[in-house]
């Protein structure tokens, strides 16, 4: 099978690309659409650096094919701020130093957004459990949990 035309709805806008059906959503974002905020840590579902929201639920974008996500609402780290105004989760990561090298941060933030929205941040332990698929090699976990818990209120 050769390349096909795909239309993806990303951060509220329709984006088109021409790609082989085997292209992952992560590669579609990064390599075809220049949305490089979502990171590739492992490319097989173990690190969470590629986390995006699909129809509001968090997804490892390296584990799903772009073609399967047509017709769905995809939100990436580039889409959560409102103009110059950062998303509250972004503000909280800044305030609590929820990152060091920053590589895992986009995925952590997207996971944190889903964590709060789905009500999984009612305690530090619950938050840690929910966020356990997002690895941070710098070990910023306590600050990440503090940031997510603050947004949860």
Binding stretches for ligand FES (CB under 6 A): 40-43, 45-50, 60, 62
Q: Which is nearer to ligand FES, 45 or 139 (CB)?
A: 45
Which DSSP string do the residues of 105-151 spell out, in sequence order? HHHHHHHHHHHHHTT--SSHHHHHHHGGGS--TT--HHHHHHHHHHH
User: Least distance (Å) from ligand FES to the CB of residue 133?
Assistant: 8
User: Least distance (Å) from ligand FES to the CB of residue 83?
Assistant: 29
Q: Which is nearer to ligand FES, 69 or 150 (CB)?
A: 69
Residue pair 80/109 in contact (Cβ under 8 Å)? The answer is yes
Q: Which is nearer to ligand FES, 69 or 96 (CB)?
A: 69
User: Least distance (Å) from ligand FES to the CB of residue 127?
Assistant: 19
User: Least distance (Å) from ligand FES to the CB of residue 40?
Assistant: 5
Which run of H or of E encompasses 50? none
Q: Which residue is nearest to ligand FES (CB)?
A: 62
Residue pair 10/79 in contact (Cβ under 8 Å)? The answer is yes
CA dist 76 and 136 (Å) reads 19
């Amino acid at each position: 099978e050769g390349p096909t035309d795909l239309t993806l709805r990303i951060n509220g806008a329709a984006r088109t690309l021409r790609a082989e059906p085997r292209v992952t959503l992560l590669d579609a974002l990064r390599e075809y659409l220049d949305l490089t905020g979502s990171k590739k840590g492992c490319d097989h579902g173990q690190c969470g650096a590629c986390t995006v929201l699909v129809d509001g639920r968090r997804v490892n974008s390296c584990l799903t094919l772009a073609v399967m996500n047509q017709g769905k609402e995809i939100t990436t780290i580039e889409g959560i701020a409102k103009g110059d105004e950062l998303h509250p989760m972004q503000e909280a990561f800044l305030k609590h130093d929820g990152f060091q090298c920053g590589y895992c941060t986009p995925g952590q933030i997207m996971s944190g957004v889903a964590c709060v929205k789905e009500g999984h941040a009612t305690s530090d332990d619950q938050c840690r459990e929910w966020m356990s698929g997002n690895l941070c090699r710098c070990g910023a976990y306590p600050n990440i949990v503090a940031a997510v818990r603050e947004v949860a209120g």
